[in-house]
Structure 1
């Protein structure tokens, strides 16, 4: 195996970590326990249902005894008692028949009492009807508890995703996160739906049936229990083999989803660079890995049910043989043996059901572990309990001896200081990796500084709430982001309050987006998807710039915001920006120096430090790093013209 797939597998792919089945299972049950009323209702309903279901065979056994006793009594002459008939049989030497009839309740000369049998059968019918109704109520309550628990888990997941730092998303693939938030939660819901009520019913049935079995015959009960250790051994062995495969199955699902999401969002590049074959090969490789994991998990857990059926049939044979001998000896009635055989089936069936549900439970808990792993991920530092905020938001920003590093062992920014006055435009230039975007991420507190501090109008931003800080900052990135909806909705997304259509159109005109929007079939009501299908890259950028204008921020951050627009549109945007920047502090990250000639202050960064700062004219005349960048771009432009 080579390439990206090998790197991912080596970095912690499927099967790289064993599963904490017990811990994750307990946490999942605690989620259900939070809905105590519904769970208590389920428990009561299942206890009633199981209790009545367990009593049913005993009632039917009594009906069998009445029928058999009537048949036996009807074949005898009246006038004698049961004891006299049995003594007569013993006197004739027919001891076996005498012993068997000793366990039968009959009256010589009296036939079948169909009225009594009818009453018993009606009682059995009523018992089973109430048991079924109770189970229906229990199932409904279980579904309610499960849906509430899964809905809350999904809500906790969404809230957690909001609290995770940007560094978490930098290290995780989007497809993997999406897989946990969708596939794994759905799998947990399906697992609970299919196992919760049935598992509880099976466990209570085992207990209830055991009680009835010992009540009828302790000897037959012990015979029936002979196969239980074998069942436990089978379940433990199979479960131990299949559990790691379920963990690998869901982890491989996440890897495959990540690959599909990457290839779908970048399908244009895949085709342009002719990587369809390589992409298909990676998909086939990961799909094969998912197939192998799924097949092994399902096969290993699937053999449990036939094995348990074999054990159940073995139990049935033992009970039938020993029960027949007990009837022949007169120790048990035929009705009791009939009831006991039903109980043995009832006892084996829940064992088989529990075993067959093991694969579902293992799969569900494997997904639960992945969810809890995300929920336990380290969150961004909390906001202060009593956050501060500037008395008046003016846009005065200061970086005071700021230090930052993504990796503790690799410093990126060391002892950086700068001041941005209200209403000024600060341009940040420098080679790739110099720390330009990092500077903006620190200002927005996507990352926290590791040394020094950043202040906004005299208040340390670490003492402000993130919402309060970001409410005054508008941002336009090089990578545009649009959501599925109308163009008007996408522009209005930047407003903190309700805005009118005139406000939206005014912002679009300021960003010079109004002209192209009106040429679309439905104008501002044109619906676009999250990929911005139907509009060009430059037009998408204009929409995002209009969105930033509508937010009316005190601080404006532009990270290569005009990189996707043509030269004429770039000039128009710069003029609009000049008008909108009045009274606002603007941070502009740019590679094309022609876009920041009019900036009040230009910062030149190299290796995380500011090596030069000043106006365009001052920096050009200084003949330093900025002059070298400017000459390099000028020479490149001349070469492109030639």
Structure 2
């Protein structure tokens, strides 16, 4: 799934808002306090306008001292009440927004990690990070902005009622421009939603370039390609700038149009009301109170416009978030109900066919294979023959389109995914380590409590204890992101120690030594020998020297099994194997089988 330039979400604004608000509902008590604060604050505008009329007519014109005392106390009490309840509304609403975002971010990450590998093969890490961080954060604005919108709407309704009560004639001229306000909301909402979506896509693209650049910095420097990457970053950064500037322009245009509408209404009222004051048909206090109410009326309208901008931005983020959460074609991995906790008996692969989504030919085309308990089966073949694809079907990282795989006589889909994957130990050429301690990496994913002695025993069996002891904090040393503080051979030995501690009945080695130098390979081979001892193993190897003593060697080409058997037999019956062998051992006519230190 790619980020794309257009959202695939077809949800309307009302449905998106409903989905957003569902994450706020668990916090009903906090929301109730925020709503109470809103209901108290909303009528304060009309009350303030009424106090202005009293202050002008009764205090400034009639010079009533008692009225002065009452107005002074009333203004202080009103402003205090408004301040306290606005704090209650703002604090509880914004903090509730953060709590809702925590829940939404948890749901989104949980949804992602349970999706099949196919999803991650088709998605960019930077795009997924952008949705988890940027898009989710935008949604936190949705409910507070909606509450602010409703609060200001109530304020507007109260002020409209007051100005009509005060003077219907003035109210007519003050409210005649209201249809323009509605037009501004509708016209700019669509544009703001569209540019908000564009801005989020540009932010996602920028995150992708940044993540790839920082993750691949060694390759960038090796090819002296810094200027190329800087160029990519500048391009995406400029695209992000353009959409952000356009969003600011629309936002400011909307606000200024609102101000012009408000100024037009004030001018009409001032002209009409001023003439009435001159004629003696209206008191100055009434006119000033009306103008105050009118000014207060268009201030909340502008705040409603601002809230609408935040809501549209939240909806643009919500589209991208719920695209993952609700997409019907993104199905989480599912397993069966049987727990796989018995010893390994037999693995049967029957007429398997598998094609990648973007593939133009089958990666596996009618593969059949049987692995019995205690066997060491090697799989060899040229690049692209389907070796890694085949072993990726065993833990159900991918599902075959045809055929079936049986483990101990049952289909893989009958077993729970957790028990199936715990049953297998996988050591690949990509020795991935987490930014954790050495002990934490060795014990990663353990389903039971473990003690330090078990970890050290596993490390000794993996020939890792010696170099671990020389690290600054020993087993408590942080290895850095992806194990950057360790050499390739050291990282691989830690992954082998991890597999030894896991103690799986079935072991899968996917070119575990292909990326190592000769000395590191020799040590890792010894560690692998300890790992495979008395264990059923499937070994993918590029170097034939590591698999010559396997019980059976399976030769693959173009997604098919060409031959299988022991080394000497394959030399006679399989031209492909003989060619691979002669290419790797051209310097001698024959090579003795490797000793205990090899596979």
Give the deviation of 1:574 after TM superposition: 3.2
| 1:304 match | 254
Aligned mate of 1:611, from 558, 562, 587:
562
Aligned mate of 2:226, from 276, 289, 300:
276
Aligned mate of 2:40, from 41, 44, 48:
48
Whether 1:505 aligns to 2:497 is no
Aligned mate of 2:159, from 202, 209, 222:
209
| 2:436 match | 485
Asked if 2 retains the 8 angstrom alpha-carbon contact of 1:14 and 1:247, the reply is no
Asked if 2 retains the 8 angstrom alpha-carbon contact of 1:424 and 1:586, the reply is yes
| 1:136 match | 87
| 1:119 match | 70
| 2:126 match | 175
Whether 1:200 aligns to 2:150 is yes
Distance 1:134 1:12, change over 3 A: closer
Asked if 2 retains the 8 angstrom alpha-carbon contact of 1:234 and 1:307, the reply is yes
Query: 1: distance between equivalents of 2:159 and 2:374?
Result: 81
| 1:453 match | 404
Distance 1:155 1:565, change over 3 A: same
Query: 1: distance between equivalents of 2:288 and 2:411?
Result: 82
| 2:290 match | 340
Aligned mate of 2:310, from 342, 345, 360:
360
Distance 1:37 1:410, change over 3 A: farther
Q: Secondary structure at the match of 1:531?
A: helix
Distance 1:271 1:470, change over 3 A: same
| 1:388 match | 338
Asked if 2 retains the 8 angstrom alpha-carbon contact of 1:154 and 1:185, the reply is yes
Asked if 2 retains the 8 angstrom alpha-carbon contact of 1:474 and 1:556, the reply is yes
Asked if 1 retains the 8 angstrom alpha-carbon contact of 2:23 and 2:100, the reply is yes
Asked if 1 retains the 8 angstrom alpha-carbon contact of 2:149 and 2:308, the reply is no
Give the deviation of 1:119 after TM superposition: 1.8
| 1:293 match | 243
Distance 1:499 1:18, change over 3 A: closer
Give the deviation of 1:114 after TM superposition: 0.5
Query: 1: distance between equivalents of 2:461 and 2:293?
Result: 81
Give the deviation of 1:58 after TM superposition: 1.2
Query: 2: distance between equivalents of 1:54 and 1:594?
Result: 88
Aligned mate of 1:531, from 482, 490, 500:
482
| 2:390 match | 439
Query: 1: distance between equivalents of 2:449 and 2:339?
Result: 24
Query: 1: distance between equivalents of 2:376 and 2:216?
Result: 35
* CA-to-aligned-CA distance 1:117-140 (integer Å, 9 cap, x gap): 312331232233222212211112
Q: Secondary structure at the match of 2:481?
A: coil
How many residue pairs get aligned? The number is: 586
* CA-to-aligned-CA distance 1:185-209 (integer Å, 9 cap, x gap): 23333x3487344323222211221
Distance 1:390 1:253, change over 3 A: closer
Whether 1:230 aligns to 2:149 is no
Query: 1: distance between equivalents of 2:588 and 2:260?
Result: 82
Give the deviation of 1:500 after TM superposition: 1.7
Give the deviation of 1:592 after TM superposition: 0.9
Query: 2: distance between equivalents of 1:412 and 1:51?
Result: 69
Give the deviation of 1:233 after TM superposition: 2.6
| 2:27 match | 35
Query: 2: distance between equivalents of 1:64 and 1:244?
Result: 48
Give the deviation of 1:349 after TM superposition: 0.6
Q: Secondary structure at the match of 1:31?
A: coil
Give the deviation of 1:244 after TM superposition: 2.5
Give the deviation of 1:293 after TM superposition: 1.5
Asked if 1 retains the 8 angstrom alpha-carbon contact of 2:425 and 2:504, the reply is yes
**Higher mean C-alpha displacement, 35-44 vs 278-287:** 35-44
Whether 1:553 aligns to 2:545 is no
Give the deviation of 1:495 after TM superposition: 2.7
Query: 1: distance between equivalents of 2:185 and 2:225?
Result: 47
Asked if 1 retains the 8 angstrom alpha-carbon contact of 2:496 and 2:528, the reply is no
| 2:371 match | 420
Distance 1:395 1:325, change over 3 A: farther
| 2:447 match | 496
**Higher mean C-alpha displacement, 494-503 vs 506-515:** 494-503
Q: Secondary structure at the match of 1:35?
A: helix
| 2:115 match | 164
TM-score (norm 2): 0.91
* CA-to-aligned-CA distance 1:10-43 (integer Å, 9 cap, x gap): x864457798661434432333345333323322
| 2:59 match | 67
Give the deviation of 1:568 after TM superposition: 4.1
**Higher mean C-alpha displacement, 261-270 vs 50-59:** 50-59
TM-score (norm 1): 0.85
Give the deviation of 1:319 after TM superposition: 1.8
Asked if 1 retains the 8 angstrom alpha-carbon contact of 2:563 and 2:574, the reply is no
Query: 2: distance between equivalents of 1:604 and 1:395?
Result: 23
User: What's the RMSD between the two structures over aligned residues?
Assistant: 2.6
Aligned mate of 2:544, from 579, 593, 600:
593
Aligned mate of 1:475, from 426, 430, 438:
426
Q: Secondary structure at the match of 1:448?
A: coil
Q: Secondary structure at the match of 1:528?
A: coil
Query: 1: distance between equivalents of 2:509 and 2:12?
Result: 48
Give runs of aligned pairs for residues 100-111 of structure 1, distance below 5 A. none
Asked if 2 retains the 8 angstrom alpha-carbon contact of 1:19 and 1:247, the reply is no
* CA-to-aligned-CA distance 1:399-450 (integer Å, 9 cap, x gap): 1222222238743323322111122222111122221111121111111222
Asked if 1 retains the 8 angstrom alpha-carbon contact of 2:9 and 2:319, the reply is no
Aligned mate of 1:602, from 553, 557, 568:
553
Distance 1:579 1:542, change over 3 A: closer
Query: 2: distance between equivalents of 1:495 and 1:636?
Result: 46
* CA-to-aligned-CA distance 1:554-598 (integer Å, 9 cap, x gap): 111111111233334434433443343244221211111111112
Asked if 2 retains the 8 angstrom alpha-carbon contact of 1:15 and 1:244, the reply is no
Distance 1:271 1:575, change over 3 A: closer
